Structure 1
Amino acid sequence: MTTPEEPARPSAIAGYEDWPGYVQNQPRHRAATPAAQELADALGVPAAVPPVEVTVHWEETYDGVTTSQLSWQLGFGPRSTAWLVRPGGASGPLPGVLALHCHGGNKFGGADRLVELPQSHPSAAAARAGHYDGQALATEVARAGFAVLAHDTFAWGSRRFDLSVPPWRTAAALDARKSQWREDGVVPTDADLYNAAAGIHEDTVAKAAGLLGTSLAGMVAHDDLAALDILASLPGVDPERLGCIGFSGGGGRSLALAALSPRIKNYVVTCMMATFESLLPAYLDAHSWLLQTPGLWKLGEWPELTARSEAEGFLVQFAVADQLFPESGMREAHRILESLHPAGTYIGSFWPGGHVFTAGMQNEAIRYLARTLGAESPAAQHHLTLSTPIGTEDHR
């Protein structure tokens, strides 16, 4: 007598079946200082080994900017896609900036939201319109005289999980979402379907990461550290003048990267700064696992983590009406930052409006990076001569 076979369970980490073995066999990231090592250990960051080969798929110059599509294979998971953006015809080594994309509830795409491309996926265009004031951040930074690398990080874009056959819990929640769409007469796009599944699946990824002794933020930091090493090695990039910039979840990545790598000289955190205490109880659910690594608060408040970095300086931009952070928590973070850092090394600015990296904020960030990293293009000089001072207490 034969018994019917049970249906095969779908993989909870499809596309990343080699991830557990990689993490278990890979040494941990070795930071430059004991303070930075504590953060690396809390996040569970595996050592990032830069890929042997970086492939250039295409390159074109448009409107004074040269954009190249690159890719590389890390030690596990799908191949990484990235874009290098720099001023057309630039001579001599340029300061380099790693542009770190936000979470945005959009894991279908990644760094494509930061780059002007011949053809952008609608999800990238929507992310630019909704979060970046319609501007391509990496391209705007490059116009000011930088070599800018924007890469898809762990679980986003080219590095996303394969959810074409979602695992059980994700599938059940996705079915409910599809039912609601049908009731509302909504026809979801491929990006809508993926992002709905990925939003639910993030809990599963965080669960798997914790089981492996790492975290979602730690795995993202792994990919970011590898990308930073690639940027430093590219022809025409000055490895002694490197910075990073990010909005929202990308701002959290910027802070973590600056703490984990002494390569970062100056950096920008936008709309990603408040105290952990201020998130409880009402704001906790507004944030992803990128900010809320278990046990991270034991190292201190979120602004206190900046003291673990060897960077020469940094800019933090707050949005007063940010829906994801209470103003009291942002003001307290600003106070802590001022108390921790010598005058001139930390600059904080408060802007009106909600959780958006506005054109004005981008201009301020570009001016900051141009001044501190030594960009010398005419566009950089234009940004440097804009009338609004950097770091005013309130831009209203």
Structure 2
Amino acid sequence: MAKASAIGGYEDWPAFMTSRRRFAPTSADSERVANVVGVPALPAPDDSAYTVTRSEESVVGGVRVSRLSWQLPFGPPTSARLVTPLHHEGRLPGLLWMHCHGGNKWLGGERLVDLGQATDPDVVALQRKLYEGRAVANDFARAGFAVLVHDAFSWGSRGFVLDPAPERAGDALRAATAQWTADGVRPSPELTYNTLAAQHENTVAKAAALLGTSYAGMVAYDDLVALAILRQLPEVDPDWVGVGGFSGGGGRALMLAALDQRLTACVVSCMMTTHESLFPAYLESHSWLLSTPGLAAVCDWPALSSLAPTTRFLVQYALDDPLFPVEGMRDADRLLRDQTDAGPEHYRGAWHPGGHIFTAAMLAEAGAHLSTALQEGLPGIS
């Protein structure tokens, strides 16, 4: 009996990596990070990967939500949403806001968007759990930004085909199914996929290593293309662009800022510590996004911000975040404050009560930071 593909939907990924050079940032320090993470070179400016298709459009609570899609050189097409103020003149400051990991791979950027009555109830539940019930893309758009949210490599539209399941993911699902049966739980398709994807991420990281890249490197590739697409959208002023995210999305934002020095602002929420602090008890709290082999030998996690000296960073810490030791967060905060060469406006750390959640207070603070950095006079978030 033939085994199921370990990279379902991505059978063209190995050929893509065979013919692809490495991404080359403008600074030598950033290039060292790009080489360790293994970010593939981006498509040429005239490549069809940047051809964006617009489809359905809706108006919800004073913003316009458009569905976008594009086809990268490997894997399935990327689905994204562009959220803009309903009434605006001229080009807007652009914001690439990146979805968290959250152990939820059945969807990507959609967790950040309010589609009105068309919003999936499971998305609403996820927003309540992780974002204090807010659809943050809509809130940022109401504050005056053109906000792009996209599905990253291995999430949502860019997810792997796991039916039939590869061997180890299938074993994990069978074990979970036995427990669900014992507990009287009827699993939803989303729960089933997330259970498979949790184990399959290890397989994806293994495949990435064999192909000369890393899990984080492939996610960064998808994010860099999305950033390039954001800059070319007619609604966006390409000279005023920021990035941000919560949890894994915040880590992705930090990596983007390290790789692209043209960003004006960056928000990293609940995703900052030192590598050393993860040992020995916090390793299993995190995905492969924070565990790229060799990265710690090049620079510590907080030091990635020093590769973007003109970017204005806001890093938000949660005092009771169960994913990070408070000592590690405080050490990171101290290291970031000591980067005096970048100037006093380069970094601001903010401490919040509570656990691993992007609260309404964090959202308002992020909106104020981005409004100040990208365009004075924007209305802000309440």
TM range (shorter): over 0.9
| Structure of higher CA gyration radius | 1
CA drift of 1:47 comes to 1.4
Q: Do 1:274 and 1:303's aligned partners in 2 also have CA atoms closer than 8 Å?
A: yes
* Corresponding residue for residue 57 of structure 2: 59
Q: Give unmatched runs, 5+ long, in structure 1.
A: 1-6, 387-396
Distance 2:273 2:178 in 1: 37
2:182 matched to 1:183? yes
Residue 4 of structure 1 is matched in structure 2 by none
Structure 1 residue 170: deviation in Å? 1.0
2:104 counterpart letter in structure 1: N
Aligned equivalents of 2:318 and 2:325: distance in 1?
10
Which structure 2 residues correspond to residues 17-96 of structure 1 after superposition, within 5 A?
17-49=11-43, 51-96=49-94
Compute the displacement of 1:295 (Å): 1.1
Tell me the CA shift for residue 361 of structure 1: 0.5
Shift of 1:316: 0.1
**Rounded Cα–Cα distance in structure 1 between residues aligned with 2:146 and 2:376:** 10
Aligned residue pairs total 375
Indicate the residue corresponding to 1:345 in structure 2: 346
Alignment of 1:296-311 (within 5 A): 296-311=295-310
In structure 2, the CA distance between the partners of 1:311 and 1:106, relative to structure 1 (3 Å rule), is farther
Residue by residue over 1:246-280, the C-alpha shift from the partner in whole angstroms, topping out at 9 and shown as x without a partner, is 00000000000011112311100000001111110
Tell me how far 1:300 sits from its aligned partner: 2.1
**Residue identity opposite 1:357 in structure 2:** F
Give the TM-score normalised by structure 1: 0.93
Counterpart of 2:314, as a letter, is L
Measured in 2, the distance between the counterparts of 1:62 and 1:355 equals: 28
Q: Percent identity?
A: 50
Return 5+ residue gaps in structure 2 as ranges: none
Report the Cα distance in structure 1 between the residues aligned to 2:83 and 2:262, rounded to whole angstroms: 20
Counterpart for residue 392 of structure 1: none
State the match for 2:374 in structure 1. 373
Contact 2:309 2:346 (8 Å CA) reproduced = no
In structure 2, distance between residues paired with 1:336 and 1:227: 30
Q: 5 Å matches for 1:63-142?
A: 63-118=61-116, 119-142=118-141
- Which residue does 1:394 correspond to in 2? none
**Does the CA contact (< 8 Å) of 2:169 and 2:196 recur in 1?**
yes
Say whether the 8 Å CA contact 1:71–1:82 is kept in structure 2.
Answer: yes
Which string of whole-angstrom CA distances, capped at 9 and with x for unpartnered residues, describes residues 336-378 of structure 1? Answer: 000014222100000000000000011000000001100544x
Spell out, residue by residue over 1:214-251, the C-alpha distance to the aligned partner (whole angstroms, 9 max, x if none).
11100000000000000000002100000001000000
8 Å contact from structure 1 (residues 146, 375) kept in 2:
no
Matches within 5 A, 1:180-259: 180-259=179-258
Letter in 1 for 2:12: D
Aligned to 1:3: none
State the partner residue of 2:363. 362
Contact kept, 8 Å, 1:258 with 1:310, in 2: the verdict is no
- Deviations 1:260-318 (CA, angstroms, capped at 9, x unpaired): 11231110000000111111000011000011111111012211121112443110000
1:152 aligns with 2:164: no
CA distance in structure 1 between the aligned counterparts of 2:78 and 2:198, rounded to whole angstroms: 21
d(CA) in 1 for partners of 2:120, 2:287: 24
Q: Secondary structure in 2 aligned to 1:103? A: coil
**Residues 8 and 160, structure 2, Cα contact 8 Å, conserved in 1:** yes
* CA RMSD between the two structures: 1.2
Residue by residue over 1:168-187, the C-alpha shift from the partner in whole angstroms, topping out at 9 and shown as x without a partner, is: 11111110011100000001
Tell me how far apart the structure 2 counterparts of residues 222 and 100 of structure 1 sit (CA, whole Å). 13
Q: Distance in 1 between matches of 2:376 and 2:235?
A: 13
SS in 2 for 1:290: helix
TM-aligned CA deviation for residue 82 of structure 1: 0.2
Alignment equivalent of 1:13, drawn from 7, 10, 16:
7
- Kindly provide the amino acid, as one letter, of the partner of residue 124 in structure 1: V
Query: Shift in Å at residue 62 of structure 1?
Result: 2.4
Q: Secondary structure at the match of 1:220?
A: helix
DSSP-derived class of the 1:355 partner: coil
Residues of 2 paired with 1:375 and 1:164: CA distance?
49
CA distance in 1, matches of 2:60, 2:284: 42
Per the alignment, residue 272 of structure 2 pairs with 273
Kindly state the Cα deviation for residue 125 of structure 1 after the two structures are TM-superposed: 2.0
SS at match of 2:288: coil
CA distance in 1 between counterparts of 2:255 and 2:211 reads 20
Quote the Cα distance in structure 2 between the aligned partners of 1:64 and 1:271: 29
Aligned partner letter, 1:353: G
TM-score normalised according to structure 2 size: 0.96
Contact 1:16 1:76 in 2 (8 A): yes
Cα distance in 2 for partners of 1:275, 1:312 equals 20
Q: Is the 8 A contact 2:60 2:114 kept in 1?
A: no
Cα displacement string for residues 160-203 of structure 1 (whole angstroms, at most 9, x for unaligned residues) = 00001111111111100111000000011110000000000000
Q: Once structures 1 and 2 are overlaid, which stretch shifts more, 340-349 or 199-208?
A: 340-349
Q: Once superposed, which parts of structure 1, at least 4 consecutive aligned residues long, lie more than 3 Å away?
A: none
